[in-house]
Every structure is written in structure tokens, then in C-alpha cells.
Amino acid sequence: MPFAGVDFLQLDELLTEEERLVRDTFRRFVDDEILPVIGRHFREGTFDASWPRKLGSLGALGASLTGYGCAGLGPVAYGLIMQELERGDSGVRSFASVQGALVMYPIHSFGSEEQKQRWLPKMAAGEAIGCFGLTEPDFGSNPGGMRTTARRVGDTYVLNGEKRWITNGGLSDVAVVWAKTDEDGAGQGGAKSVRGFLVERGTPGFSTRDIHGKFSLRASVTSELIFEDCVVPASAMLPGVQGLRGPLSCLNQARFGISFGAIGAAMACYDEALRYTKDRKQFSRPLAGHQLVQAKLVDMLEEISKAQLLSLHLGRLKVAGTLRPAQISMAKRNNVRMALHIARNARDLLGANGITDEYQAGRHMCNLESVFTYEGTDHIHTLVIGEDITGIPAFD
């Protein structure tokens, strides 16, 4: 039976007709195109090469941007796409998040007209793939310490350094790379000197290496980007932003979508656990007839319902223009936590079956470990909110 959604509080009534239509399109897309093949891709550690174009033809890539072949959707409709994609798999949602929020968004917001024309239409169609290089081997939660540099030489920049844990890295036609420059009097080498560069595949001195042995996000490509005296024209720099504000503003876009995405993974796990426990009998009754099992199912439903309200409300704030980054931190932190918790409990209720890839819960559980860590770890979001309410930053 196809997935019918989880809507205990009748929150559908708070959605517009357009938002529901968008959600339903991607709900069906996931049933038809993702779920039949995701088990195999996860097992084999492969990303389906047909996904980018399929997502592009429906308009899912950069869906909240306007112009340049993008759909111009509102934030809630965009969030609901992320929710449905992650109901399929966090890896598929990661692909779309990175493409839309971390690559197309900065090009759209900070790029030159020429950069926009060159990349956005092709990326919206899924004909070109992008990646976002911020994290380095020695700088994860603290990207301001990054070591990658861009040295100005005449009309060019020379990039040196290494980025790691980069989603889509090995697949990408273009990388948005954040590096420290030595000019503009911007406190030489400090966080203020960070600039973004568009580095195209095939540029001499730029190579990628995929990371293997993952037990999480196996249907998504994660790579290292290596820059060794990589020369790019000065026009490859994103002219519109300087300092860590550039990458952080992208992350805010992506985190907003992730807060919706996590709900999708949680719904998939809850739905699976509910069906399974109603079906399987132990001790003279269905598993779902035991009090402890019901308590777990109710906890799941309650957490999902609260998370739905949280994300929906932030979407409305985003439209109103009053959404603050610390609020996005709360949604990312709360929703990913609850999704991970639900995935673990769903895995439990499925018993031994829960450890196989015939069922979804184990896959979502492993995937959500990455989602817990990337886009700001759970700790980091705690500290962002902590600083917001106390006025005291607990990190540097």
C-alpha cells in the first residue's frame, strides 16, 4: 500500500493547495523511482545516475530560487520536497540539498550574471552537478580555521589545500570552494578573508577522491577535493560575498530544508513500524497490542507531529522575513534528534528483521547519523542556541 503520510493533527489544513500538490508529486516520485531501487544502491554504495535529471525535470533542484529555469517555490513547498525525498533516503535528499541550497543558492545570491547564466539553468535541469567544499580534514565544526588558500597572481587565483567529506564531490561539474585570500586588507588569512570560488571539473591542479567504507549515506557520493597549485581566472570568484557569512548563509538555507527532511525519514520509520507491529503476532496478539509497543509508537507520532509544526512555522517566518538563524538551529537540532531516535526505536520494534536491508529503519538509522553530524553537529546547534539565550558564546 502506498505511503499516505502522517498527519495526526490535521496540519494538511495549514498547507496551501499548491504546497499539497507539490508534496504529493514528490511522494509519488519517491514511491515510483526511489524506493524500488534504494535498497540495492545502499547495499552497493552507488548513486543512481538517472536521479539528477529526473529530479531536474520535475523542478526539484533549486526549487526555491527564481528565474534561470528555477521553480520559484515558497519555503514550505521547498521543505516538503525535502521531506518527501528524505522519506525515500537521506542520501537522495542530500544530493538535492547540496545542489540547490549549497551550490545554486550562492551562485544565485552572490554570483556574477555570467556565472548565473552559465550554471543555474543546467543545474536546475540536473544536467550539471555541483558540490560545496567548506569542511577540511582538520577543520569541521570550526571552518573559520580553514587552511585552503587562494593567492592572487595577476588575473588569476592559485588554490592550494584540501576539502574533505564533500557530498557530490566526485560527481560534480563545478565545486563551490571556500578559501582564504591574501588581499582586500581583510585581516590576512583571518576568517574575514574567506571567499567563494567556482572550480570546474578538469581544471589542472584540481582532483577528487571518493571516500569509501561508509555505513551511512551509502547512496550518496562523499569525496575529498584536492587543490595543488590550481589556477582559476579571477572571474571564478563569487563577487557578492566575503567572510564566513558566505558559507554560513548557504548552510542556513540547507539546514532549513534538513529540518523538513528529517521529518520524512522519521515518517518512513514510524509508518514501517506501525504496519509491522500490527501485522506480526507474539504472545497471542499483534505486537502493536502490547502496551510497551504502543507507548513507543505514540512517542514517535507525537515527536513527528511537533516537528511538523515547528518546521511549518519556520517556513511561514521565512516568508515573513523574520526567521533567525538560531531558530533554524533549533529546528535542525530537534528534528534530526527526534528522527534518529525514532529510527532506532523502529529498528527495535522490527526485531531481527530490523537489521536487514529488506526494511527501511536500519538504513534511515545509519543515514541519520550523518545528518546528525553534518550541517552543524548537534553540539554546535546547542551552542548556537545557548549563545542566543545567554549572550555568552561557549566556543571561540
Partner 1 sequence: MKILVTAKRIPDPGQKIKLKGNALDLSAANWQLNQFDEYAVEAALRLTEDGAAPATRQGAVTVASLGPADVQQQLRSALAMGADKAIRVEAKDEELDAVIVAKTLEKLVRRDQPDLVLMGKLAADNEGNDVGQRLAALLGWPQATFACSIQVVDGGKALLVGREVDNGVEIKKVRLPAVVTVDLRIIAPQAVKNGRTAANFAYPEGPRYASLKGIRAAKDKPIEALTLSGLGVSTALQVKTHGSELPPARQAGKKIASVHELVEKLRSEAKVL
- 283-to-142, 145, 280, 291 alpha-carbon distances in Å: 52, 58, 10, 13
Q: Residue 308 or 370: which CB sits closer to ligand FAD?
A: 370
Report the DSSP beta bridge partners of residue 197.
177, 237
- Do residues 371 and 261 lie in contact, with contact meaning Cβ atoms separated by under 8 Å? yes
Residue 1 interacting with partner 1 (CB under 8 A): yes
Q: Is 162 a catalytic residue?
A: no
Which one of ligand FAD, partner 1, none is in contact with 20 (Cβ closer than 5 to 8 A by kind)? partner 1
Residue 320 interacting with partner 1 (CB under 8 A): no
The residue count for the chain: 396
- What are the DSSP calls for 68-122, one per residue? TTEE---HHHHHHHHHHHHHH-HHHHHHHHIIIIIIIHHHHHHS-HHHHHHHHHH
b/e map 325-338, b = 16+ CB within 10 Å? eebbbbbbbbbbbb
Which one of ligand FAD, partner 1, none is in contact with 49 (Cβ closer than 5 to 8 A by kind)? none
Taking the alpha carbons at both ends of the chain, their separation in whole angstroms is 51
Choose among 334, 313, 271, 335: nearest CA to 14: 313
Which one of partner 1, ligand FAD, none is in contact with 380 (Cβ closer than 5 to 8 A by kind)? ligand FAD
Q: Residue 63 or 267: which CB sits closer to partner 1?
A: 63
Q: Choose, from 33, 200, 375, 387, the residue flagged as catalytic.
A: 375
Residues 20-59 that bind partner 1 (CB under 8 A): 20-22, 24-25, 28-29, 32, 57-59
Provide, rounded to whole angstroms, the least separation between the CB of residue 350 and partner 1: 21
Count of residues binding partner 1 (CB under 8 A)? 22
User: CB burial class (10 A; 0-12, 13-18, 19+) of residue 47?
Assistant: buried
Q: Which residues here bind ligand FAD, judged by CB under 6 A?
A: 98, 132-135, 140-141, 165-167, 217, 222, 370, 373-374, 377, 379-380, 383, 395
Residues 61-120 that bind partner 1 (CB under 8 A): 63, 71-73
Q: Residue 197 or 276: which CB sits closer to partner 1?
A: 276
CA distance 354 to 347: 5
Task: Single out the residue of 30, 38, 60, 159 in contact with partner 1 (rule: CB under 8 A).
Answer: 60
Report the DSSP beta bridge partners of residue 150.
159, 181
Sequence letter at residue 227:
F
Provide, rounded to whole angstroms, the least separation between the CB of residue 174 and partner 1: 23
Task: Give catalytic residue positions.
Answer: 375
List interacting residues with partner 1 (CB under 8 A): 1-2, 4-5, 17-18, 20-22, 24-25, 28-29, 32, 57-60, 63, 71-73
